[in-house]
Amino acid sequence: MKKKYGVGDIAFEVFLVVFLVVFVVVTLYPVINTLAISFNDGFDTITHRIHFIPHMWTLDNYKAVFAKEGYRQAAIVTVARTVLGTLLSLVVNAILAYVISRKKFLFKKSFSLFWVITMYVNGGLIPTYIVFQKLHLTNSFWVYVIPGAVSAFNMLVIRNFMNGIPDSLEESAQIDGAGYFKIFTSIISPLCKPVYATITLFVAVYHWNAWFDAMIYNKMHDELTVLQYELMKQLQTAMKSAGSVEGLKNSGTTITPTSIRAAATIVTMVPILFVYPFLQRYFVTGLTIGGVKE
């Protein structure tokens, strides 16, 4: 059923194209601009406006980032917390979701409620701080990994997926003599790969981007700093001392705070930007699982 195109339709098409182009430019500009500044000579950036393409190419900014002790240590800690935190989180949330989604589990109702409550009521910053202090979690690496491991929201995403798996699979395995652990590892989990991928992405991004816990719990420990916290400190310095260019000019280096910040930003962005497009179909289904799409 082909319709004739009127003036309105053509205007609409033009609007669509303009909108999409503007949208893409506005979304990408800040990132491409940061990328260009990170590859541009620090002094040149001050005198020469950089938009999309570097004016004086250099790798010095990146060399400076990787040479900085603070950043190297922060990178190690960030990678460690991301890997350990994501693994732990995935395992415990999957087990919790599995337990709660078993129809015959004796405490199904009360145990579900126990976790749903945690989504709406929490102690808040200060009581949580005091509790962590008492548990000797402050001033330690484990404060990054252990407290956030179970999250009711992530658990519910997995549980909603598990609820969609037919009960007959579990029942036939039970007839064959499989226990609940065996059913979890060899029947349910292999079917849950898409939702596990979603949760892995969510949690890994959370860990990669986290900084507040580093500031609150491990402020005095430079060896426990994370990348985003280092970026944040640089940003705070930049907010305070905008315009101390003269001092830099005499220092003999061509690396400015702006240029090193740009390079550090790119370094922290790159891993995520390379991973997320490939996981797209997982997180799209992960997000829409459950009630909304039915």
Among positions 56-75, residues that touch another protein (CB under 8 A) are none
Residues 114-133 that bind another protein (CB under 8 A): 114-116, 118, 120-131, 133
107 binds another protein (CB under 8 A): yes
Q: Site map for another protein, 247-286, x if CB under 8 A?
A: --------------x---x--xx--xx--xx--x--xx--
Residue with smaller CB distance to another protein, 100 or 255: 100
242 binds another protein (CB under 8 A): yes
Q: State in angstroms the smallest separation of the CB of 65 from another protein.
A: 15
165 binds another protein (CB under 8 A): no
Task: Choose the binding region for another protein from 64-72, 82-90, 97-105, 191-199 (rule: CB under 8 A).
Answer: 97-105
Site size for another protein, by CB under 8 A?
A: 99
Tokens matching residue 67: 């040479």
Q: Which positions ≥6 away from 268 have C-beta within 8 Å? A: 208, 227, 228, 231
Tokens matching residue 114: 């126990």
Q: Which positions ≥6 away from 294 have C-beta within 8 Å? A: none
Residues 175-234 that bind another protein (CB under 8 A): 179-181, 184, 205, 208-209, 211-212, 216, 228, 231-232
Task: Choose the binding region for another protein from 20-28, 53-61, 188-196, 244-252 (rule: CB under 8 A).
Answer: 20-28
Distance CA 167, CA 185 (A): 16
Task: Choose the binding region for another protein from 66-74, 151-159, 192-200, 248-256 (rule: CB under 8 A).
Answer: 151-159
